[in-house]
Structure 1
């Protein structure tokens, strides 16, 4: 393996050399000065940007005897995930709106898959999300989830044409019965996103293009939010004559921390673009395009999946508890939690790995 010099990079660019990962001669934002990595074994070249790796990380990796194809060992999960996403054949049975794949060990990729409808959320979606995340919560092999959208945008929000009958022609003989029916429907829709929050496995959401209405409800229930430079977010509900009722008004204030900004977004339905989303804390990272974002999401997911599932799931559960309770209540809950969880074998395994200067990823943690 070798890291290209600037002179070599310029030659590769002029020759129209193609990256074996993105199949392009020019990497995102890199141009002719893009650095490449060559595998001496298979003679393939890769954009450094496509591999989401820094020069420091690369030099550190060189110290290890990888023998052949460094990218296979270090970045294969990312390569697999990007390819799986780009070649996705459609929803995964029994689902009709979701594609579920496993791009790497302990990582589940859930993709909202209605690209022909701009990933609008129809009646089937609201039930399938609950079923999907209940399955993930019970899957001992899964340690982290990446959620994304197929096609040109993340989601256009609720499919009003599909669910109009439920909302505009509610069942019931009188006001009380109609009200109970509507409450049941609203609670069901709320649970579609609450199930993400209740899932003990961390969820990394990757947003590209538009994220409208219910899309904001969805991402605020996730643990880590990423987006592309062309992403924009809109709390659209006031424009269609209703108050957002499935999570945005409850979770968004706790995500970005500015009550004034939340009020402005919710009351005016204006668009918020990626730069503002990053500055206010709605997202933690912004990527140049969808491919690099998915690669970044998989890198984060890989870091999480390499840690003790007891520690990771306990951290998520306690972060959520502390968000909704006082500091004293959170500390008390944490003490009660850890009086059991400190007895895990993962603690000794992690301590042993640290003393031996090994990565947590090298520790064979049991399923949870």
Structure 2
């Protein structure tokens, strides 16, 4: 799989029909910068095409799954839009960039091999979008989840708003999306965001590997067929929703509030939003 020879943000190990994909950063807490968004679809398309792979485990290196979007590393994506927000060209370019990120996340859902996310520590924002696209989520007892985009003046646009409704239900999703609050692993299990909670990172990774091995022992084409059938209606609905939110954000995301959110992040202070 030559697409995975020179990876920076991910490591891939394959054994006994199971691929293990590990987030490496290089941002703090495996934050997701340009390398991650470029490499994620390369990896999952290669795994999809590899007949030796029957199931995939996705996990993070170190104590955290991921802090989510690497804001400083991704800042150049935002700057032209914020600097010249009234013009069509920067909005069109930004729309294309949103769709690129959406396609990166969707590569998990589109992979015909089942994907099991083993989540320890923080799983924030874009990281939650990624695990929402997985088939199964398991957590360690110290895991914490946050659909935090509202806190930085963004409508979440990479899939969590569309994929999680069928996982946790509308009420829980709206609470998470409108408050941006953090929830712990126990709450995540109660609302169905994760299937099971395990004592620590080693335990959740072992459980994910065991579950992947159990899936990999089943007839591979039937397993792929089950995933295809289960996802048929959902992925059509998700695709429509992603297209809508990408257009919405390209039109409305430029604001004084999002600039304030970025500045507050850099200055390590609480933002003061004015609704402008």
What TM-score bracket applies, with the shorter chain setting the length? 0.7 to 0.9
How far off its partner does 1:260 sit?
Answer: 1.6
1:252 aligns with 2:164: yes
How far off its partner does 1:117 sit?
Answer: 1.2
2:140 to 228, 231, 237: 228
In 2: Cα distance, 1:250 partner to 1:173 partner: 27
Q: Which residue of 1 aligns with 2:12?
A: 100
Q: Which residue of 2 aligns with 1:243?
A: 155
Q: Which residue of 1 aligns with 2:202?
A: 291
Radius of gyration: which is bigger?
A: 1
Q: Which residue of 1 aligns with 2:218?
A: 307
Equivalent pair of 2:8/2:26 in contact (CA under 8 Å): no
How far off its partner does 1:291 sit?
Answer: 0.8
Q: Which residue of 2 aligns with 1:197?
A: 109
Let me know the Cα RMSD of the aligned residues.
Answer: 1.9
Q: Which residue of 2 aligns with 1:212?
A: 124
TM-score (norm. length: structure 1): 0.61
- Cα gap change, 1:168 to 1:320, in 2 (>3 Å): same
How far off its partner does 1:323 sit?
Answer: 3.6
Q: Structure 2 matches for 1:5-20, cutoff 5 A?
A: none
Residues 131-173 of structure 1 show CA distances to partners (whole Å, capped at 9, x for unaligned) of: 1111111111101000000011110000000011111224989
TM-score (norm. length: structure 2): 0.81
Partner-residue secondary structure (3-state), 2:30: coil
How far off its partner does 1:322 sit?
Answer: 4.0
Q: Which residue of 2 aligns with 1:271?
A: 182
Residues 343-365 of structure 1 show CA distances to partners (whole Å, capped at 9, x for unaligned) of: xxxxxxxxxxxxxxxxxxxxxxx
Partner-residue secondary structure (3-state), 2:107: helix
Q: Judging by fraction of residues, say which structure has more helix.
A: 2
In 1: Cα distance, 2:86 partner to 2:175 partner: 37
Q: Which residue of 1 aligns with 2:47?
A: 136
How far off its partner does 1:115 sit?
Answer: 6.3
Equivalent pair of 1:172/1:181 in contact (CA under 8 Å): no
In 2: Cα distance, 1:156 partner to 1:255 partner: 22
- Cα gap change, 1:150 to 1:175, in 2 (>3 Å): same
Q: Structure 2 regions of 5+ residues with no counterpart?
A: 238-276
- Cα gap change, 1:116 to 1:185, in 2 (>3 Å): closer
Q: Structure 1 regions of 5+ residues with no counterpart?
A: 1-91, 327-368
- Cα gap change, 1:182 to 1:325, in 2 (>3 Å): closer
Higher normalized contact order (CA 8 Å, seq sep 6+, divided by chain length): 2
In 1: Cα distance, 2:64 partner to 2:85 partner: 41
1:121 aligns with 2:16: no
